[in-house]
């Protein structure tokens, strides 16, 4: 078992990582328990595949599941209000934890509900996808989408505990697993060139189900994220913004493709990271070889790496317009995370939308 501490003083918490952890979730949750029940928010797919395993792990506790439709469309006002009403209808006591059992959508949605119901209740993240295990379950970003864009409404609300069971990944479709792997590679590109080299050597084994590779990737990613979150919890110093390497481009690609199954978030991140490295090379920050190396690795595991693969070649102006709606854009310029080498991400805010559009049309 590995435990990573997110060192945020009174808001600090443990991330516990162990294969088979669901089987002893009850014991790990005992210190947080306020009542004889556990309220679990999940989605239909996760609940069907893994619900029984969690219920068994919770032992004698009475489990109250709230099972929502799967997919990004659930990160919406109507689903949020319905969830809050269900929680209040169950007589949720202040201080009673809500368990978020699922991928990033469930974590963001249940976490936001926990942030606002009765002015704030604790919540526990039990992430079941690779993307949620290595990124979204740690750090306290919660929220929903709005007409104006993705994650436009939300709150920082740190979980009280994160329980990661890599065995849950066995239930994931291979495409979703691969998409989550893009977020693993991200940590190498942001600040750990050795970890990127590890990914090059072990990424295929991880995706094929190698338990040691999975455990190492999750532990390394969570440790990197915990360090960054502890340094810049609310993204005020710029340190946490580095976690968005590839993400501004990714959100633009997702917006242009309608946040659909056409392009999963992690797939968009893979293309976005390659674009970020290629733009870095054009601006003389890193060598073209670094960008090629990233593209070669992501392609080797079956991830898309070009705008053409997303059906978006020639869409530079439309994508650049989306970049200006990003929460991080300032004074009419996008804020992009680029890199002056593998493992050395940095924020760049002096690129004009026209320059980005022209770059994207050539990319």
235 is catalytic: yes
119 is catalytic: yes
325 is catalytic: no
Q: One of 18, 96, 176, 235 is an active-site residue; which one?
A: 235
CA dist 176 and 207 (Å) reads 10
183 is catalytic: yes
Residue 135: DSSP 8-state:
I
CA dist 173 and 192 (Å) reads 28
Q: Give the pair of three-digit tokens for residue 193.
A: 């060139």
Minimum distance, C-beta of residue 244 to ligand GLY, in the bound complex (Å): 6
Kindly state whether residue 141 participates in binding ligand GLY, applying the rule CB under 6 A: yes
216 is catalytic: no
Which part of the chain contacts ligand GLY (CB under 6 A), choosing from 94-102, 200-208, 238-246, 341-349? 238-246
Number of Cα atoms under 13 Å in the Cβ half of residue 91: 4
Kindly state whether residue 107 participates in binding ligand GLY, applying the rule CB under 6 A: no
Kindly state whether residue 256 participates in binding ligand GLY, applying the rule CB under 6 A: no
Q: One of 75, 150, 186, 240 is an active-site residue; which one?
A: 240
Number of residues that bind ligand GLY (CB under 6 A): 6
CA dist 48 and 70 (Å) reads 11
CA dist 109 and 199 (Å) reads 31
Minimum distance, C-beta of residue 18 to ligand GLY, in the bound complex (Å): 23
Kindly state whether residue 243 participates in binding ligand GLY, applying the rule CB under 6 A: yes
Binding test (CB under 6 A) with ligand GLY, winner from 26, 57, 111, 139? 139
- H-state helical runs in the chain: 25-29, 44-57, 77-89, 104-116, 130-131, 174-191, 193-208, 211-231, 247-256, 265-282, 288-300, 316-323, 353-362
Which part of the chain contacts ligand GLY (CB under 6 A), choosing from 4-12, 27-35, 239-247, 315-323? 239-247
Minimum distance, C-beta of residue 232 to ligand GLY, in the bound complex (Å): 9
β-pairing, 98-102 vs 345-348, is unpaired
Kindly state whether residue 344 participates in binding ligand GLY, applying the rule CB under 6 A: no
Residue 333: DSSP 8-state:
B
Whose tokens are 């604790």? That residue is 122
Radius of gyration of the chain measured on its C-alpha atoms: 20
- Is 6 or 243 the residue whose CB approaches ligand GLY more closely? 243
- Is 178 or 240 the residue whose CB approaches ligand GLY more closely? 240
240 is catalytic: yes
CA dist 334 and 346 (Å) reads 14
Q: How many H-runs (helices) and E-runs (strands) does the chain carry? A: 13, 11
Minimum distance, C-beta of residue 349 to ligand GLY, in the bound complex (Å): 17
Minimum distance, C-beta of residue 204 to ligand GLY, in the bound complex (Å): 25
Q: Is 297 strand, coil or helix?
A: helix
Q: Which residue in the shown chain puts its C-beta closest to ligand GLY?
A: 243
How many CB atoms are closer than 10 A to CB 348? 18
- Is 139 or 188 the residue whose CB approaches ligand GLY more closely? 139
**Could you tell me if 243 and 232 are in contact, meaning their C-beta atoms sit under 8 angstroms apart?**
no
Q: Is 144 strand, coil or helix?
A: strand
Q: One of 18, 96, 176, 183 is an active-site residue; which one?
A: 183
293 is catalytic: no
Q: One of 178, 186, 247, 297 is an active-site residue; which one?
A: 247
283 is catalytic: no
Q: One of 233, 244, 267, 322 is an active-site residue; which one?
A: 244
247 is catalytic: yes
Binding test (CB under 6 A) with ligand GLY, winner from 240, 265, 278, 344? 240
- Is 243 or 274 the residue whose CB approaches ligand GLY more closely? 243
Which helix (H) or strand (E) segment holds residue 68: the answer is strand 62-68
Number of Cα atoms under 13 Å in the Cβ half of residue 252: 33
Measured over the CA atoms of residue 185, residue 189, residue 192 and residue 193, the dihedral's sign is positive
Kindly state whether residue 157 participates in binding ligand GLY, applying the rule CB under 6 A: no
Kindly state whether residue 135 participates in binding ligand GLY, applying the rule CB under 6 A: yes
Q: Give the pair of three-digit tokens for residue 186.
A: 């991200």
Q: One of 186, 251, 297, 344 is an active-site residue; which one?
A: 251
Q: Which residues are catalytic?
A: 119, 141, 183, 225, 235, 240, 244, 247, 251, 265
Binding region for ligand GLY (CB under 6 A): 135, 139, 141, 240, 243-244
């Amino acid at each position: 078992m590995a435990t990573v501490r997110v060192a945020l003083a009174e808001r600090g918490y443990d991330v516990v990582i162990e294969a088979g952890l669901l089987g002893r979730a009850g014991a790990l949750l005992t210190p947080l328990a306020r009542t004889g029940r556990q309220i679990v928010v999940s989605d239909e797919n996760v609940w069907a595949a893994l619900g029984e395993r969690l219920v068994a792990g919770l032992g004698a506790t009475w489990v109250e599941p709230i099972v929502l439709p799967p997919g990004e469309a659930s990160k919406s006002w109507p689903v949020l209000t319905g969830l809050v009403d269900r929680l209040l209808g169950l007589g949720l006591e202040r201080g009673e934890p809500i368990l978020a059992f699922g991928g990033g959508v469930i974590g963001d949605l249940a976490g936001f509900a926990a942030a606002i119901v009765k002015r704030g209740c604790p919540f526990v993240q039990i992430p079941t996808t690779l993307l949620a295990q290595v990124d979204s379950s740690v750090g306290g970003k919660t929220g929903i989408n709005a007409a104006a864009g993705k994650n436009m409404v939300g709150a920082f609300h740190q979980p009280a505990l994160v329980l990661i069971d890599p065995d849950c990944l066995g239930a994931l479709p291979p495409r979703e697993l691969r998409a989550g792997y893009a977020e693993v590679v991200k940590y190498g590109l942001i600040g750990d060139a050795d970890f990127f080299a590890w990914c090059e050597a072990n990424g295929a084994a991880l995706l094929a189900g190698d338990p040691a590779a999975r455990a190492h990737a999750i532990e390394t990613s969570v440790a990197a994220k915990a360090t960054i979150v502890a340094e810049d919890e609310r993204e005020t110093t710029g340190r946490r913004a580095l976690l968005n390497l590839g993400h501004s481009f990714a959100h633009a690609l997702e917006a242009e493709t309608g946040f659909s199954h056409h392009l999963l978030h992690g797939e968009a991140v893979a293309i976005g990271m390659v674009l970020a490295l290629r733009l870095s090379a054009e601006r003389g920050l890193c060598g073209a070889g670094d960008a090629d190396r990233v593209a070669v690795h992501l392609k080797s595991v079956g991830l898309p790496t070009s705008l053409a693969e997303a059906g978006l070649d020639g869409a530079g102006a439309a994508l650049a317009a989306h970049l200006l709606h990003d929460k991080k854009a300032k004074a009419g310029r996008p804020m992009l995370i680029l890199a002056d080498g593998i493992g050395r991400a940095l924020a760049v805010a002096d690129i004009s939308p026209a320059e980005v559009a022209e770059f994207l049309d050539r990319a």
